[in-house]
Amino acid sequence: MVFSVAVAGASGYAGGELLRLLAGHPEFEVRTVTAHSNAGQRLVDVQPSLRSLAHLTLVDTTSANLSGHDVVFVALPHGKSGELTAHLPADTLVVDCGADHRLESPDDWAAFYGGDYFGAWTYGVPELPTAHGKQRERIVGARRIAAPGCNASTVALALAPGIHAGAIEAQDLVAVLAVGPSGAGKSLKLPNLAAEILGSANPYAVGGTHRHIPEIVQSLRWAAAGVAAATAGTSATDGQPTTTGPAASAARDATISFTPVIVPMSRGILATSTARLVPGTSAATVRAAWESAYADEPFVHLLPEGHFPRTADVLGANTALIGLAVDEAAGRVVTITAIDNLVKGTAGAAIQSANIALGLTETLGLTMNGVAP
């Protein structure tokens, strides 16, 4: 069976990456591509790398244009998806690559984004260990999926196994990320100019202000072993593990110092995510936590002792590579995680989640091999 697909926001970087992957997906057929100011243009004139989709023309981003497809991928700036998708049929699979439906806490939404809050959808990071099993289980059969923030999923995947296993402390996490500027989209702002970024490393959102922080904390809350299965159920409406019961309240949320640094590579995230070792935990126990979390995952790989990933190794791939070290002198576990922000961080996660939701082979249309060098 071939599923008909629409992509909203097809002129942006995330939309383009969705289309690149969808073009190689054997069960998806892109029928409709929408944009705002570029509507009316040939897709290939706006996205000149998408040669195999030269037959498509961009139309306006409206609910009407998105209706009538089996699957709708939305790649719009945050705040643009809520209204647009509200009236799509309940049995249409909608995968939102924006932030609108990631946070289950209205307070977090208000504090970090603001504007109308449209509620959380099933979070699209299948490999995330939660107190109730992998997040994958919640995605099966879902029809509303929130693809993750690229930085957020990178750090959550890096640290969740240790928190889940009780090997690292969830408080006082520190993550510093080298990130490529494609994550900022095609926003015409001075800091995004090539001359500002070439030959330089530029921090932003320093000191606890980045919007992905509550999303990381939310994922790590789910991963915390202390969230007792007995009291925390799965919400009927959205497939997220609820964390509002008494056991959840008992567990203190993670705290994290989070600093992204733009570096001169078009795409990629290299996250150095560290956590305090739980006293008395052996290095072997630490490694076992990550090994057991990701042993069977097609797209999240723990590297052998002493090996650490580079972002080039996952360019274009849906792979997250994790290197792990225990620094006894510093009392910290150090994880290095490499992903392609536009693939595993966004479009690849969206398609992987869609595959799961629809009961397809999870890896369809995705590769684990990076384009390196």
Q: Which residue has the tokens 């932030």?
A: 99
Secondary element (H or E) of residue 23: helix 13-23
By the rule CB under 8 A, 328 interacts with a second copy: yes
Task: State yes or no: is 150 an active-site residue.
Answer: yes
By the rule CB under 8 A, 359 interacts with a second copy: no
Interface with a second copy by CB under 8 A: which range of 72-80, 94-102, 128-136, 300-308? Answer: 300-308
By the rule CB under 8 A, 279 interacts with a second copy: no
Q: Which residue has the tokens 């139309």?
A: 59
Q: Which is nearer to a second copy, 93 or 216 (CB)?
A: 216
Contact 270, 336 (CB under 8 A): yes
* Among positions 32, 135, 243, 272, the unique one binding a second copy when judged by CB under 8 A: 272
From residue 166 to residue 185, what is the string marking binding to a second copy with x (rule CB under 8 A)?
A: ------xxx-x-x-xxx-x-
CA distance 161 to 159: 6
By the rule CB under 8 A, 268 interacts with a second copy: yes
* Among positions 92, 257, 285, 292, the unique one binding a second copy when judged by CB under 8 A: 257
Q: H helices within 203-314, ranges in order?
A: 213-223, 246-250, 283-294
By the rule CB under 8 A, 62 interacts with a second copy: no
Interface with a second copy: number of residues (CB under 8 A): 94
Bridge partner list, 71: 5, 93
Q: Which is nearer to a second copy, 85 or 219 (CB)?
A: 219
Strands 320-327 vs 300-302: parallel, antiparallel or unpaired:
parallel
Interface with a second copy by CB under 8 A: which range of 2-10, 229-237, 249-257, 344-352? Answer: 249-257
Phi-psi region of 31 (alpha: psi -120 to 50; beta: other; left: phi over 0): alpha
CA distance 320 to 308: 12
- In whole angstroms, the minimum distance from the beta carbon of 287 to a second copy comes to 12
Half-sphere exposure of 154 (CA within 13 A, CB side): 37
Interface with a second copy by CB under 8 A: which range of 102-110, 137-145, 231-239, 307-315? Answer: 307-315
As given in the structure block, the two tokens for residue 162 are: 């240790």
Q: What are residue 327's phi and psi, to 5 degrees?
A: -100, 95
From residue 69 to residue 108, what is the string marking binding to a second copy with x (rule CB under 8 A)?
A: ----------------------------------------
Question: Where does residue 45 rank: exposed (0-12), middle (13-18), buried (19+ CB within 10 A)?
Answer: exposed
* Among positions 121, 222, 258, 290, the unique one binding a second copy when judged by CB under 8 A: 258
Active-site annotation holder among 58, 93, 131, 150: 150
Catalytic residue numbers, as ranges: 150
